[in-house]
Structure 1
Amino acid sequence: MHPVFWKALCAVLLLCVLVQQFGSQSKTLLRDHVFESSHDPSYTPSEAYEPKEFNHHNETGLETPHSDGWSYNWERDRDNHGLSAEQCDIAFPELYYEIDRAVHQWQDKKITPSMLDVHSINDGTVRVLLVDQQIRILQTRGMKRNDFRARITSVLHQVFRAITAVEGVDQPMPDMEFTVIVDDHVVFAAEPQPFWGFTRKFSQPRHDNIWIMPDFHFWAAPPEADAFRIQQSKCRQHDAPLERKIPKVVWRGVEWTNPEVRKPLIEATQGQQWADVVAMHWDKGDAIMPMDAFCKFRYMVNTEGRAWSARMTHLLNCDSLLFVHDVEWIAHYYHLLDTGSNCVRVERDFSDLGEKVLYFNDHTEEAQAVADAQRKTFRERYTTPAASACYWRKMMRAWAAASFEPTTKVVMKQKDKLQSAERLRGISLEEFLNHDNTRDYGDDEKLNMLHHNEQEWVEKGKEHEDKHP
């Protein structure tokens, strides 16, 4: 046959292969999802970064098989903090977008110790040294506030658990130094700094410098929520087909944290039979609802507060249908939200909320499919305790590779020649948790004074024992 015929036939066959490979998958990049577009149309976050595409329509069933025989089973592995690095990659292949983004953001910049300095503009801060697998506290800010103290200790517990769970399984964690901000959002002084935070604002280029970590709710958030593992168990007790759930959309929250979003929700649902929406006041307990009680309802709606809404994590523990407005703030797993697949998008002013509730009441099979995908994607996989531990370890190793090698020891002012001239910087996590942690710890000089005071206390105790055996 004529050579032209064979060329044409090859072209057609190649086209068929490409269509079969790519045409059946619906993949969307992060910025095409439920994220509020930048106020500057020319701005693209991490502009040079080309994120990998995510197959949000991949069914995440009970198991993910692998060639070596191990597979992820959510009923068995969901609470396993000690999965190996290889098992983490098998179980949670699409979890690490924010880590990859941060690595790319800082790949051409030199991270220095001074970049981790704690400033007065950021309350709720802890500077941490990890040396020989041990966590040491270098500096804190905001410990006098109960909420910041709880957040700081929750983060430190998560880091400690993620490290100790794989001792003897993975390679030891390298030494590193980092600064964590536990306020709702990070504030930079002059130049952007590589702080670790719970969230970043999509429309703020400076926020691309933040390394996003799992928030404190993944440990516990009393009185609003129990320990996260227990909270997931409580939510599972309300599992039921949507048709058997209360046929209303439910929401609780305080209006003042974000009146631009929350007030329209309250107004759009006022007096509607399909809604159970109530503005709360923390000094009045009548409107407060336990987190697992949200799972009794057919529909839930999430709203942003001062920044991201940590409540979404708990709502995703339910097997109900979640409505999400376009968000401005991004948490570590938000790239997995896929409107129409595992959640339902509503307008930021909730003008279409009633219409969508009534639509899904008449199309329960469609609603159930979205709710099932939501449960499989998040509760059974990407927001499990196992996934959080994997994320922490992946993030810490990525940070250590991108950052500097920390100074681990400091020269002490000697009281006598018998004392060592050097000691490790900071104080151990165990000492920090057992001390009066309602006050802030400062630089190493102040920590030296703390150690000297402790030594004096021990010596006085020994004198007392000698006099009063």
Structure 2
Amino acid sequence: MTLPSCSRWRRRPGSLLYLLYFVGFLICVCIIAIWYGVNSDRDYIHPLLTQLIPAGHCACQTSTTFQCSSCLTCSEQSLAPQPSPTPKWEFTSDRDANNQGLSRVQCKAAFPGLYEDIVRAETFWRSQGALVTEDLDRVPVEFGMVRAFISRGELSVVAARARQEDHRRKIVAALSSIHRALVADSDRASRRDIEFIFSVEDKVEDVTNAGHPVWVLARSAEEQGVWLMPDFGFWAWDSPLNSLGPFDQVVERVKRADIPWAEKTPQLVWRGKPSFAPKLRRALMDAARDKPWGDVKQVDWLERTNIMSMEDHCRYMFIAHVEGRSYSASLKYRQACNSVIVAHKLQYIQHHHYLLVPDGPHQNYIEVERDFSDLSRKIEPLLNDPATGQRIANNSVRTFRERYLTKAAEACYWRQLFDRYGNVWNSSVPIWSDVSQRERGLRYESFILMDSQTMFDFRATDSIT
């Protein structure tokens, strides 16, 4: 009886080893499957694999819902009262959309609700005391960041770092937008001096701490210390894969190509790369798959398949919007169409998001859950009620294309950012460096004339680290 027992005992380590091999094999298969699901841009992967994809950077359990419908009808209450122009002035899109020189009073009257996040950031930094030069000195200028100042209405660059050409283009576009807002300002010479740092990276955490006073393209609700600025595409965007040009030029192309509501294709359109945010984007693809109203496809930029111009998007009644690695800069282009924008609950906030209204008489888009589980329930009633869809699309055009995404609105926002940041900036801005015996910053006009390689790692003086 003893021998068989000992034999069984001797075989057990081998059995455990086989079990470990099998478990290791399963783990490897799961890792490869998840890697494939995250990085694949194929149109279809099995739904089980979609469920296994981790939320990752999209943090799918969080979102930001804007409850600011009053922003469209009344001015931001915490703005200091200003005397009304005489006679009373009102914004008219045909006349004023491209007027970048609106006065402070006109900016306030034209764009109520546009400055909500600037007011929030100012309030935050007042609660922290104020901003001084030492606060900026504690922020390393990483790749994708710029330190600059405005003195007597002139823009100068102290330091700029770009990892690659993509960074450099975005930096030049952001600086150009700032310069454009300054030169159109009738109060330019008397504007208060300020010094600041901005980032053109997608996410705050890519380059800095959320408690630092950096100007950024987008933020999550928890990132309180940063200030929102308009994204670089309002100046222009051009890349080897996607040449769009100045934003207002895109809008003009869209307006020429747009068609009456009744002639639009009664479908939801989306084109994009699933791998940019696989959990979110594959949820959209699965929700729309095999639906008669769904025209949702992945883009392959290398093979040049399923690519669609912005003008062609506008031929559809419904356009889906999905966040990417963080925010998606494509929202403003979609809002140029006289179509209904369908977006999941957004996690990242851009400067104009406070004007998004998901319901009520001013509704200007359709909001769905982040997993798109209610997509059919939101889309199908509108297919049977085209008048409601048309009302939402018209509201979107009036709110965004004709007002809050115009050149006038962008310039007003920049100047309000300069003013509100200046309210909590409590340091002087020296022009001259005694250490280097030269100007601390290079004027914008000279900076943009430098060759690209010099821009990649620029320091105006040896004293800047």
Class of the TM-score when normalised by the shorter of the 2 chains: 0.7 to 0.9
Shift of 1:268: 1.7
Amino acid at match of 1:182: V
Matching residue of 2:345: 326
CA distance in 1 between partners of 2:200 and 2:381 (Å)? 40
Counterpart secondary structure, 1:434: coil
Aligned partner of 1:405: which letter?
A: S
Mean Cα deviation higher: 258-267 or 438-447: 438-447
> How far apart, in 1, do the equivalents of 2:72 and 2:458 lie?
48
C-alpha separation between the residues in 2 aligned to 1:133 and 1:94?
Answer: 26
Q: Which residue of 1 aligns with 2:434?
A: 411
For 1:248, what is the secondary structure of its paired residue? strand
Q: Does structure 2 conserve the Cα–Cα contact (< 8 Å) formed by 1:85 and 1:170? A: no
The corresponding residue for 2:3 is none
Please say if residues 66 and 90 of structure 1, whose CA atoms lie closer than 8 Å, have aligned partners that are also in contact.
Answer: no
Matched AA of 1:287: N
Q: 1:185 to 1:214 in 2, by over 3 A?
A: same
**Residue 353 (1) aligns with residue 372 (2):** no
SS of the residue corresponding to residue 257 of structure 2 reads: coil
Query: What secondary structure does 1:441 align onto?
Result: strand
Q: 1:56 deviation in Å? A: 5.6
Q: Which amino acid aligns with 2:180?
A: R
Residues 66/372 of structure 1: CA separation in 2 closer, same or farther (3 Å cut): farther
| Cα shift readout 1:19-64 (whole Å, capped 9, x = no counterpart) | xxxxxxxxxxxxxxxxx99869xxx99xxxxx9964267499xxxx
- Offset at 1:90? 1.2
Query: Once the 2 structures are TM-superposed, how far is the Cα of residue 131 of structure 1 from its aligned partner?
Result: 1.5
Give the Cα separation in 2 of the matches to 1:122 and 1:260. 29
Structure 1 position 131 matched with structure 2 position 151 = yes
Instruction: Note closer, same or farther for the CA distance 1:278–1:127 as it changes in structure 2 (3 Å cut).
Output: same
Aligned residue identity for 1:112: V
1:176 aligns with 2:199: no
What secondary structure is seen at the aligned counterpart in 1 of 2:176? helix
Decide which of 169, 174, 194 is 1:155's aligned counterpart. Answer: 174
Identical pairs, percent: 30
CA contact (8 A) 2:85 2:105 kept: no
Q: CA 1:112 to 1:269, structure 2 compared with 1: closer, same or farther past 3 Å?
A: same
For structure 1, which segment, 372-381 or 429-438, has the greater mean C-alpha deviation from structure 2 after superposition? 429-438
Q: Partner amino acid for 1:410?
A: S
Answering whether residue 463 of structure 2 is matched by residue 440 of structure 1, we say no
Match of 1:89 among 93, 105, 108: 108
TM-score, L = length of structure 1: 0.77
- Deviation per CA, 1:70-117: give whole Å up to 9, x if none: 221101111111111111111112211011000001003232223224
Q: In structure 2, do the counterparts of structure 1 residues 38 and 122 end up closer, same or farther at CA, with 3 Å as the change threshold?
A: farther
Between the aligned partners of 2:131 and 2:185, the Cα distance in structure 1 is: 27
Who is 2:314 aligned against?
A: 295
Number of the residue aligned with 1:369: 391
Distance 2:397 2:209 in 1: 42
Quote the offset at 1:436 in angstroms: 2.1
Using the alignment, how far apart are the partners of 1:174 and 1:120 within structure 2? 25
In 1, are the aligned partners of 2:181 and 2:414 still within 8 Å (CA)?
yes
Q: Following the alignment from structure 1 to structure 2, what is the Cα–Cα distance between the partners of residues 433 and 83?
A: 26
In the alignment, structure 1 segments of 5+ residues that lack a partner are 1-35, 46-50, 414-421, 449-469
Q: CA deviation at 1:302?
A: 0.4
- Paired AA for residue 372 in structure 2: F
Can you list the C-alpha shifts for 1:330-352, whole angstroms capped at 9, x where unaligned? 00011111112111111211222
Which residue does 2:10 correspond to in 1? Answer: none
Aligned-residue offset at 1:189: 5.0
Equivalent runs, 1:414-433 vs 2, <5 Å: 422-433=437-448
Q: Secondary structure at the match of 2:168?
A: helix
Distance change (3 Å), C-alpha of 1:297 and 1:333: same
Q: Distance in 2 between matches of 1:166 and 1:119?
A: 29
Structure 1 runs of 4+ aligned residues shifted over 6 Å read: none
Report the CA distance shift for 1:259/1:333 in structure 2 as closer, same or farther (over 3 A).
same
Is 1:178–1:195's contact at 8 Å kept on the other side of the alignment?
yes
- Which residue identity is paired with 2:452? N
User: Greater CA deviation, 277-286 or 115-124?
Assistant: 115-124
Q: CA 1:194/1:353 → structure 2, altered by over 3 Å: closer, same or farther? A: same
Cα distance in 2 for residues equivalent to 1:355 and 1:139: 51
| 3-state SS of 2:275 partner | coil
- Alignment match of 2:418 (pick from 387, 396, 417): 396
What root-mean-square deviation, in Å, do the aligned CA atoms of Structure 1 and Structure 2 show? 2.9
Quote the Cα distance in structure 1 between the aligned partners of 2:460 and 2:373: 52
Q: Is the 8 A contact 1:198 1:331 kept in 2?
A: yes
* Structure 2: runs of 5+ lacking an equivalent: 1-58, 76-83
Q: Distance in 2 between matches of 1:91 and 1:308?
A: 26
* Structure-2 change in CA distance of 1:253 and 1:397 (3 Å): same
**In the alignment, is residue 310 of structure 1 matched against residue 329 of structure 2?**
yes
Paired letter, 2:70: N
Structure 1 segment 26-175 matched on structure 2, within 5 A: 54-55=69-70, 58=73, 68-109=87-128, 110-117=130-137, 122-142=142-162, 144-167=163-186, 172-175=190-193
CA contact (8 A) 2:198 2:214 kept: yes
Aligned partners of 1:214 and 1:388 also within 8 Å: yes
Residues 274-289 of structure 1 aligned to structure 2 (within 5 Å): 274-289=293-308
Q: 1:175 to 1:79 in 2, by over 3 A?
A: same
Aligned residue in 2 for 1:186: 204
What is the one-letter code of the residue matched to 2:451? Answer: D
Q: Say yes or no: does 1:249 pair with 2:268.
A: yes
TM-score (norm 2): 0.77
Tell me what 1:210 maps to: 226
Q: Which amino acid aligns with 2:340?
A: L
Alpha-carbon distance change, 294 to 190 in structure 1, aligned in 2, over 3 angstroms: closer
